[in-house]
Amino acid sequence: MATILQSIPKEASVTKIEYEGPRIALYTNAPRYLMENNETISNLVNIIKKRIVVRTDESIRKPEDEARRIIAECVPEEAKLQGTIFDTATGEVSVEAKRPWLLQRNAKEFNHAEVTEKMGWKLRIRKATTIPSRTIQTINATLKQSSAERSKQLKQVGDEIFRPRLSQRTEVSLYTLGGFGQVGRSSLLLSTPESKILIDCGINPGARSPMDAFPRLDSLDITLDDLDAIVIGHAHLDHTGFLPALCKYGYKGPIYCTEPTLPMMNLIQLDAIKVASAQGRTPIYSERDVKQIMRQTITLPYGTVTDISPDIKLVLANAGHILGSALCHFHIGNGDHNFVYSGDIKFGKSILFEAASWNFPRVETLLIESTYGLKEDIQPTRQEVESAFINAVNNTLADGGKVLIPIPAVGRAQEIMMVIDHYMKSGEMIEAPVFTEGMISEASAIHESYPEYLAKELKQKILETDDNPFDSEYFTNIEHGDAREEPMRENSPCIILATSGMLEGGPVLEYFKNIAPDKKNKVLFVSYQVNGTLGRRVLDGSKQATMLGKEGKVEVVTINCGVEKLDGFSGHSDYNQLMSFVQRLRPKLRRVLVNHGERKKSENLAMNIRRMYRVPAHYPQIQEAIKLF
């Protein structure tokens, strides 16, 4: 505080300095001065080596109604203002516009410093989505309701992060809790004499017994209060499915993840409650626990160094796997040891995301996934799979048939939508209406809300032009079951994307009943079909499927339609990509650990890393302790 007060000019009119979680919040009566002299803050950050955020003092914030009116007056009409969201805990107002590029910092017609000075709230410009995301609306409402409680918590979190270290000695250990020698329930504990960080907290959706389904937290001799933080790499259930249960049983500390990971995991966690209830199982947590996650989460952008405990700094970096997915880089002690947890990574560019980042200043230990750890786990290139996809769709549409794509709502669906939009616009794919049903439109709305996290070209399209592929005229979302008439109408070729991806429940089944009997049509799989699912049986050539129809009667569906499967749209790196990722990091690596794969895949990847790159590599099992430093 003394350093800040000494180095900051009087004109900055600082009223208060406070911890705000891992950041230092500097409150000011003169936001305009700091905005116009932004080198003042960057100089300060260089001196104190902590993150600083500028906040406007409560006393200068105009009441929301008035501030809203001022914004509406200042925003030029062409920008198409859609709404404003006020966060009292941070004094930020999000301004949502259809054409946000007209409101950027350097925009002529909209001077940030001037508008901020007029209304006293800090501006954040956001792209208004085609359809608003209900999940993000719930998060905003929850944060608003809990802003007083949250401000208090953030101060407390800061107090704990910035307390003096108890010992100067650095020791680092890892405890494996789930997702080793298997896919599912990813979880591990990073431990030093100073701090305990839980990384990921998933479930194994296929397992029924708690000992197989949940991370083995029971094997640790700690309580939830001993955890300094939980870090979440990405939203999938096998990485986040047990997190609400920890909140239910009393975890009160911070949860760190990227901004889009929060709504994505909430969406998936809430859906898991519905699925469990539909299957007659008791969900392990309730909606209330998911809302609690919203209150405890501190989101971080990619690439920002953040203190999360007295001796650990965290950087999240793009993992290329799903929206917001992150590699987690932990800088421990005074740089004594650097540990990178890959989570699920795609080391290859897709339409949605850039390839995973690899450019870390230092990494001594890498923990890498091995979903495709066998040498024969080689995927076709994106170009190959995209042209196969175009052919598969064109053949059916040209014959006047319908293409049904059973699809997981999150990630894959958006990728396929972008591919369809791209090739229909370029003329390589026959133009036809595309219908989506299930959670797809909600997941798309979340993607569209965070263009900064998407691949460069896609981000540019959304943020800087009116040509937004998510708003494409090809797509129609089916909101209710009774609106299926159009996609099901006879002799009208179309593409249907519906959940679930393996024909296990969801609206896709209704379309399947309608489409399967006619040989003009096609079921096109673009994701993995697990043994024992209807999807797998159809893929293996079943000619009949028995399904539950209306009023619980058993219906027999004859399968005459074409069936095809395309590999290569995976969000995981194939074997070659995993190996080249390790090779990029090799110069500094001292050890590689392998997880997130069937045992033989993890074993093979570890063996080949040892052999080819001469780096010690092994594949721990669950409930092992590994000394890193």
Q: Which is nearer to Zn ion, 444 or 570 (CB)?
A: 570
With contact defined as beta carbons under 8 Å apart, do 629 and 170 qualify? yes
329 is in an annotated binding site: no
Among 23, 185, 236, 337, binds Zn ion (CB under 5 A): 236
> Shortest distance, CB of residue 242 to Zn ion, whole angstroms?
15
With contact defined as beta carbons under 8 Å apart, do 599 and 182 qualify? yes
Residue 151 tokens read as 């401000």
Residue 74 tokens read as 């200042």
Q: Which is nearer to Zn ion, 32 or 236 (CB)?
A: 236
480 is in an annotated binding site: no
Stretch that binds Zn ion, among 177-185, 249-257, 338-346, 552-560 (CB under 5 A): 338-346
Strand-pair category, 187-191 with 544-548: unpaired
Interatomic CA distance for residues 604 and 399, integer angstroms: 45
218 is in an annotated binding site: no
Interatomic CA distance for residues 443 and 271, integer angstroms: 12
> Shortest distance, CB of residue 234 to Zn ion, whole angstroms?
6
Among 194, 200, 311, 344, binds Zn ion (CB under 5 A): 344
321 is in an annotated binding site: yes
344 is in an annotated binding site: yes
Q: Which is nearer to Zn ion, 127 or 236 (CB)?
A: 236
Eight-class DSSP state of 42: H
337 is in an annotated binding site: no
- Residue 349: Cβ within 10 Å count: 14
Cis peptide before 500 (omega within 30 of 0): yes
Q: Which is nearer to Zn ion, 233 or 535 (CB)?
A: 233
Stretch that binds Zn ion, among 231-239, 332-340, 487-495, 514-522 (CB under 5 A): 231-239
Residue 625 tokens read as 């302790």
With contact defined as beta carbons under 8 Å apart, do 99 and 105 qualify? no
> Shortest distance, CB of residue 206 to Zn ion, whole angstroms?
15
Q: Contacts for 81-86 with beta carbons within 8 Å, 24 or more apart?
A: 82/128, 83/128, 85/140, 86/121, 86/144
Half-sphere exposure of 498 (CA within 13 A, CB side): 27
> Shortest distance, CB of residue 411 to Zn ion, whole angstroms?
8
> Shortest distance, CB of residue 324 to Zn ion, whole angstroms?
11
Interatomic CA distance for residues 262 and 242, integer angstroms: 14
> Shortest distance, CB of residue 260 to Zn ion, whole angstroms?
14
Stretch that binds Zn ion, among 15-23, 340-348, 507-515, 599-607 (CB under 5 A): 340-348
Stretch that binds Zn ion, among 65-73, 198-206, 327-335, 339-347 (CB under 5 A): 339-347
> Shortest distance, CB of residue 271 to Zn ion, whole angstroms?
15
Stretch that binds Zn ion, among 173-181, 249-257, 342-350, 594-602 (CB under 5 A): 342-350
234 is in an annotated binding site: yes
Token pair 């790159």 in the structure block, residue: 613
Can you name the residues that pair with 229 across neighbouring β-strands? 197
Q: Which is nearer to Zn ion, 289 or 344 (CB)?
A: 344
Q: Which is nearer to Zn ion, 514 or 570 (CB)?
A: 570
Contacts of 46 (CB under 8 A, 6+ apart): none
Residue 37 tokens read as 């002299």
Can you name the residues that pair with 554 across neighbouring β-strands? 548
Strand-pair category, 554-558 with 544-548: antiparallel
With contact defined as beta carbons under 8 Å apart, do 327 and 233 qualify? yes
> Shortest distance, CB of residue 211 to Zn ion, whole angstroms?
23
Q: Which is nearer to Zn ion, 96 or 344 (CB)?
A: 344
- For position 596 contacting Zn ion by CB under 5 A, the verdict is no
Interatomic CA distance for residues 318 and 330, integer angstroms: 15
> Shortest distance, CB of residue 485 to Zn ion, whole angstroms?
36
Taken in order 217, 223, 224, 230, the sign of the CA dihedral is negative
Q: Which is nearer to Zn ion, 60 or 326 (CB)?
A: 326
Stretch that binds Zn ion, among 13-21, 229-237, 416-424, 457-465 (CB under 5 A): 229-237
Q: What is the separation of C-alpha 535 from the centre of its chain, rounded to a whole number of angstroms?
A: 26
Report the binding-site residues for Zn(2+): 234, 236, 238-239, 321, 344, 596
List contacts with Zn ion (CB under 5 A). 236, 344
Q: What residue numbers does the annotated binding site cover?
A: 234, 236, 238-239, 321, 344, 596
